[in-house]
Amino acid sequence: MTLTTCSECKGKMSDRASMCPHCGFGLGQALEDMVQMHVQRAVQAALPLRPPLAVPGEEKRRHRRIDHNTMVKVEGETAMLFNISRSGLKLSSPFAPRTGNVAISLETGDRAYALKGTVRWVSARRSFSNLVDFGVEIIEAPPEYYEFVDQLKPAR
């Protein structure tokens, strides 16, 4: 351990400290990082262990994902849907899901689909807009949902 100088107040502090003991500089980012780490660990602890879907060298997803940006509700909270497939969704929201199993409401203008899914991954980093990205595997959906996804055109 060595001493360094705080760039804000010029006080002496440990090079291992996450914040200055004199002025608290660095606390905002350090605190946010600690909260994000604890949320990530809590969500990962709630997720069941599962073998990978893919064999090395093969496509890792069962179905091709299609870019489809729209708003959805995840456990009643607003989230952004980025891509969709018959078996999963990539979403972003201000907060990571609190449980491994989630209820999702997807409205497409003329139809609403009630989906149930399992959170399979949560990004350790926040996106540029300060949102948490996460992936959900669909475990229950009405037949009309699959028809809707099949009608979407993949981006070229």
- Which residues form the domain of 113? 16-49+61-156
CB 116 within 8 A of CB 103: yes
- Quote the radius of gyration of the chain (alpha carbons, Å): 20
- Domain-located, residue 55: no
- Domain-located, residue 68: yes
- Domain-located, residue 27: yes
Enumerate the H helices of the chain as residue ranges. 27-46, 143-151
Higher-scoring residue by pLDDT: 17, 132: 132
- Domain-located, residue 8: no
pLDDT in tens, 67-113: 888 899 999 999 999 899 999 999 988 888 888 899 999 998 889 99
- Domain-located, residue 139: yes
How many residues in the chain? Answer: 156
Q: How many domains does the chain have?
A: 1
- Domain-located, residue 104: yes
- Domain-located, residue 56: no
